[in-house]
Amino acid sequence: MSLFSPPSHFHLPNAVVSHHGSDLINLPLHSPQNPRPSFDPLRPLKLVASHHSPIHNRRGFRLTCLGSDSAFPIPPQNVDLTEGGAGGGHDGGDGDSSSGGGGGDGGGGKEEDAEGEEFGPLLRFDEVMKETEACGVELPLDMLEAAKTTGLRKEFLLRYLALQGAAWPLGFLTKYCSMLRNRMLADPSFLFKVGTEIVIDSCCATFAEVQKRGKDFWNEFELYAADLLVGIVVDIALVGMLAPYARIGKPSISHGLFGQMQQACASLPSSVFEAERPGCRFSLKQRVATFFYKGVLYGSVGFVCGIIGQGIANTIMNAKRSIKKSEEDVAVPPLVKSAALWGVFLAISSNTRYQIVNGLEGLVEASPLTKRVPPIAMAFTIGVRFANNIYGGMQFVDWAKLSGVQ
């Protein structure tokens, strides 16, 4: 006998059969005061069917005996015989995940909207391919994979397409160098900042070299050129390591200790004062860790560039002195000690100063006035980086004298 379709000869007095969205069957058929229900064939079976919940197409019935023999109301005994089994719960718990978790994801929705305001809506794969085909541009593999899995922000895609239309070698570099591309996508003024740093540092270094070498400047031009080339590499590293970058797709993380370290480093902000964005929240511990992490990177770059730059200079000086010696020749600087000085100086002094410069630039760029008048941010970048280079140059001379390198 099925509970869902009682036979025609089975009658219950004043029974109510109703179809509700609760997916439960109540069968209060007896009680201490009414151990056995009486069956009266003359009293009709009352069937009431109601559909209150359009969410699920489940069949459950509630049977309630309304016999007058009961001395007091009997609380219904719930028996779950729904199609979902004993653990089905109610409609809100086992429905669509998007509707079931909507209440808890309100904050995430607001963050998504805020990120959409800054970088545009998230484009699906077909929409991305439509844009790229219209421009005749082929996406790099990582961006193509991100478009298939997570989607691409419209602003990132438009900026990349614009970069591909730029003159050579910018289009070539942004296509095959992901580090440059991601920084250009996150900050369109990245190249301006790099160029400003290089021009200011090169001009200051040239002025200092001319004053230092005097009439021997052209005779020692190769030393100046070596220092200048190494300085350009250092400038690019100083600006690039602290620049914000677009986080596209999901990074591939290897397993083991190296994978854990890689994941921890990837979760750090690009600089101590990097602005928080939807999806990019940083704790105080992460910002403090960023200072030391960037210090290690800066120190490594300084030591390597010091070895290369000072090695070239020492080689040229020794070659000249092997041909012609002079009493006015200064001592050849120690190679390893000079490189170590560069490493320590970049790790402590340069790291601290450029972190502050990045933070100040971020504040100015985020102001409403600067957004209406972009040249204000460009002028501020020139001024603050010029002052930073002057102060850093004077500080390095003091450090070199204290360490005995010069």
Q: Give the tens place of pLDDT for each residue, 262-308.
A: 888 888 999 999 988 766 789 999 999 999 999 999 999 999 999 99
More confident residue, 344 or 82: 344
**What is the predicted pLDDT for the residue at 27?**
45
What is the rounded distance in angstroms from the CA atom of residue 44 to the CA atom of residue 66? Answer: 12
Nearest CA-CA partner of 9 in 60, 49, 45, 63: 45
- Range 94-112 average pLDDT: 42
CB distance 182 to 248 below 8 Å: yes
pLDDT band at 385 (very low <50, low <70, confident <90, very high): very high
- Range 202-212 average pLDDT: 88
More confident residue, 36 or 106: 36
Q: Which amino acid does the sequence have at 338?
A: S
CB distance 298 to 292 below 8 Å: no
Burial class (CB in 10 A: 0-12, 13-18, 19+), 310: buried
For β-strands 78-79 and 25-26, DSSP reports them as antiparallel
Q: Is the pLDDT reported for residue 253 higher than 50?
A: yes
- The pTM score is 0.67
In angstroms, what is the C-alpha Rg of the chain? 37
- Range 102-123 average pLDDT: 56
pLDDT band at 9 (very low <50, low <70, confident <90, very high): very low
Q: Could you tell me if residue 222 is left (phi over 0), alpha (psi between -120 and 50 degrees) or otherwise beta? A: alpha
Q: Is the pLDDT reported for residue 356 higher than 60?
A: yes
Helix, strand, coil fractions of the chain, as percent rounded to 5: 55, 5, 40
User: In Å, what is the CA distance from 247 to each residue of 32, 136, 215?
Assistant: 69, 24, 51
Any alpha helices (H) in 350-374, and if so which ranges? 351-366, 368-372
- Range 205-211 average pLDDT: 87
More confident residue, 111 or 318: 318
**What is the predicted pLDDT for the residue at 102?**
39
**What is the predicted pLDDT for the residue at 328?**
67
**What is the predicted pLDDT for the residue at 222?**
79
Q: Average pLDDT over the chain, rounded to whole?
A: 76
Q: Is the pLDDT reported for residue 116 higher than 70?
A: no
Nearest CA-CA partner of 231 in 346, 344, 354: 346
Nearest CA-CA partner of 377 in 192, 183, 156, 235: 192
pLDDT band at 323 (very low <50, low <70, confident <90, very high): confident
**What is the predicted pLDDT for the residue at 80?**
42
- Range 338-367 average pLDDT: 95
What is the rounded distance in angstroms from the CA atom of residue 405 to the CA atom of residue 341? Answer: 8
**What is the predicted pLDDT for the residue at 14?**
46
CB distance 365 to 377 below 8 Å: yes
Listed range (67-71, 202-206, 330-334, 381-385) with the worst mean pLDDT: 67-71
Q: Is the pLDDT reported for residue 239 higher than 60?
A: yes
Q: Is the pLDDT reported for residue 194 higher than 90?
A: yes
pLDDT digit string (tens) for 133-157? 999 999 999 899 989 988 888 999 9
Any alpha helices (H) in 267-334, and if so which ranges? 284-323
**What is the predicted pLDDT for the residue at 280?**
76
Q: Is the pLDDT reported for residue 401 higher than 50?
A: yes
Percent with pLDDT over 70 in the chain: 68
pLDDT digit string (tens) for 26-35? 444 444 455 5
Helix (H, G, I), strand (E, B) or coil at 209: helix
pLDDT band at 115 (very low <50, low <70, confident <90, very high): low
Report the C-alpha dihedral over residues 307, 308, 311, 315, rounded to 10 degrees.
Answer: 170
Q: Is the pLDDT reported for residue 363 higher than 50?
A: yes
Listed range (13-22, 207-216, 336-345) with the worst mean pLDDT: 13-22
Q: Is the pLDDT reported for residue 214 higher than 90?
A: no
**What is the predicted pLDDT for the residue at 252?**
65
